[in-house]
Every structure is written in C-alpha cells, then in structure tokens.
Amino acid sequence: MSWCTIESNPGVFTELIQQMHVKGAQVEELYSLDLDSLDSLRPVYGLVFLFKWRPEEKDERVVITDPNPNLFFARQVINNACASQAILSILMNCPDMDIGPELSKLKEFTKNFPPELKGLAINNCEAIRAAHNSFARLGPFVPEEQKAASEEDDVYHFISYLPVDGVLYELDGLKEGPISLGQCTGGHGDMDWLLMVQPVIQERIERHSNSEIRFNLLAIVKNRKEMYTAELKELQKRRERILQQLAAFQAERLVDNGNYESLNKSMSEVNAAIESATEKILMEEEKFKKWRTENIRRKHNYIPFLFNFLKILAEKKQLKPLIEKAKQKTSASK
C-alpha cells in the first residue's frame, strides 16, 4: 500500500503523533523566526521545514556517512512519506520523550540498520502508515494515495533540524546521510541550537524568495496544556504557603510588619500568575477542540452527500437551470 500526501498543518501533525501513541508532545506553526517566537515555544524538540523541492538544485555540503550511533537517520525510500519521516526523525532522536510502544520497538529493531533499511522499516510499519494515511482526502474517482505527481505538479519536501549529543543536524531523507551544522551546547530546552538554526533556515528562504513564497515551519514542542497545568499546580501550592504565613502573622497580630506587606504583594503576583496559567490552559483546550473539528472535516467523505444533493436537484428539475446559469455567469466574466 502506498502513502498519501498530507497537509502541512499543526493540527494534522499533532493528531498524527498522537495516533502513533507519542505522549507529551504537540506541533506548533511558526510564523516568524524572531527570537521571541522561538523562545516562547521552548522546549523545542525539533523544527520541520517545508519547501518546494527543486530536482535541479545542487547541494555541495558534506553528508556524514558514518553518523553518531545515537542519531536515528532514515533514507526516504517511499513517495509522499516525507512529512511523517521528518516528524519521526525528531521523535526518534528525543530520548526523554515517551514515543510509545510501536515507535520504541521500531527504534530498537532498526538501531544497527543502515539508513536505507531504516527507511524500508518505516515503510513496512503498518501502524505508522495507517496513521499517515488516515488523513488521505477522499476523492470521487482515484484515491489520493494512488496518484503520482506529474512533471507539472509542484512537489514539496520536509526536512528536520534538531540537536543530538551537542551537534545540530539537518536530516533530509533524500540525502545519503545527515548534515552537521556545527557544535551546539545545551539541549532541547535551551536557546543555543535555535540561535544556530535561525540563520540556516532564513538563508534557505531568502535563496528562493524571488520565485517562491510557499514555505512552512513547524516546531515539535512539549505539550503546552501539560506544561501550564504543572505550572498552575506549583502556583497553587505557593499560594497555600503564603496563605499559611499570612494567617500566622494575623494570629500574632503582626499585620504592621514589613514582611506582612511583602507577603501580600507576593499573593497578588501569584494570583495574577494563576489567572494567566488558567487562561493559557483554556486556550489550549479550545485550540485542540478546533483541531479535532477540522480533522474530522478533512477525513469526512462528502461525495455521497453531494451526489444525493445533485440527484434531488435533478428530480426537482432545478439542476439544469442552475448549470445554465453558471455557464452564463462564466461566459460573462471572460
């Protein structure tokens, strides 16, 4: 069975990794490469960059043919799988992430495989392929996963950027091996590697900006709701401690004490932080609800509805007049 093309969308990719039973992660879209945008998403496990693939473009950079054994790198040996493969390149290189039983078994099984065999193993993994193809758009004639791109079609490609063992890598399944972008200190939670990758992606965008504006940058990050929930619990514990201290001051009639005023100020700050964290949790819940609705619509087969709608119009003698009206409108606009 082949693989379908899927939309580059944070809601799609978040559900995709959830279907692979990965826990504690989600995908966010980046609209800017400025440092504030990157900093607001930390910890960032990796970046996925989408661009228009140009077969004539040459890349003279040296690829690593004998990479770090801790680095998972797979060649892309199947069409249309580059989106899932770019995501897997990040998930499989995050030892602190719970990637679930299926990906854990795949990672262990392929740890001594060369990149080509790793790519074949991904292709043969039914769980990954089923999760990927669940986003196939249902068409009236030919299933999308069976369509091959023609020479006139635009072809887009996904590559990954992430730090592994103190080195920043570019992972492109169409290349023979990974590309080292240099040494970087810190890990996924630090800004160091993001500062390094920022000019690399910016240069790639500027190189094609005269003829191409369709780029997409996605970040695989820690689940935001889980982060804000943990933050909220800590703030609530801190508020309880302050309340106990304030109660002790009141019991000893030391309300004029400078420490009492300081505690009151701290209480106001904690309450404001609790309100902010609660709002962020609600925003995340609303965002995931929106993503679920959009994904249901993406996967729904509207063909039977449209067929029956046209059939009813025809039975009521309304279809032909509508077609003629549409033709007249088209002719008038030319």
Please list the active-site residues. Answer: 82, 157
CA distance 306 to 327: 20
Write b or e for each residue in 180-209: b if 16 or more Cβ atoms lie within 10 A of its Cβ, otherwise e.
bbeebeebbeeeebbebbbebbeeeeeeee
Residue 316: burial class (beta carbons within 10 Å; 0-12, 13-18, 19+): exposed
Element holding 45 (H helix, E strand): strand 44-52
Residue 185 gets the label, from left (phi > 0), alpha (psi -120 to 50) or beta, of beta
Helix (H, G, I), strand (E, B) or coil at 51: strand
Q: End-to-end CA distance of the chain: give it in Å, rounded.
A: 44
Backbone φ and ψ for 182, nearest 5 degrees, come out as 120, 170
Helix (H, G, I), strand (E, B) or coil at 247: helix
| CA distance readout (Å), 317 to 306, 320, 321, 324 | 17, 7, 8, 12
